[in-house]
Amino acid sequence: MKIEVLRIGQRVIRDDRVTTHVALVARAFGASKIYMNEVDPEIENTIKRMNKTWGGEFEVEFFEDWKKVLKSKIEEYKIVHLTMYGEKIDDVAKEIRKNQNILIVVGAEKVPRTIYEKSDYNVSVSNQPHSEISALAIVLDRLHKGKQFDMKFDNSDRTIIPTKKGKKVVSK
């Protein structure tokens, strides 16, 4: 299953930190790429450093018009829009997992109506206001059924060894 993330919008008052965290969660929980705009391009360097240090080949791609990204994916991908107004993830996760290519749309501010209409799935993790970071993590967890915790990230400079207490990091 190939999962990519489309990040739409950016609230200036929330800065680039939230979008950076959306990218980090996407990377750590098994997505292969994130599309974003209206953000500090330094986010891409942060992700490159994460890939170098912790492994993996997660990609960042900047776009001018989210409609073009959506249009380029709509034939080949199932579009999953995260919204607190959608169907419960637990009710649709099994059906979504049947697809080879998934594009998850994560909004920052009010998402245009077109996204709701073009999406194959409008999915919620809660029908209450919440963070798009947590929503993405929960949806990726449900889609991977927890297996993202066993993923191996190739070409890492460091690896964390799980321990009951303390920290164990192996440098290569």
DSSP letters, 19-74, are HHHHHHHHHHTT--EEEE-SS-THHHHHHHHHHHHH----EEEE-S-HHHHHHHHT
pLDDT on residue 28 = 95
What's the pLDDT tens digit per position in 26-60? 999 999 999 998 788 888 999 999 999 999 999 99
Point out the annotated binding site for S-adenosyl-L-methionine.
82, 107-111, 125-132
Domains of the chain: 2-171 (3.40.1280.10)
* Confidence grade of residue 172 (pLDDT, cut at 50, 70, 90): confident
Point out the annotated binding site.
82, 107-111, 125-132
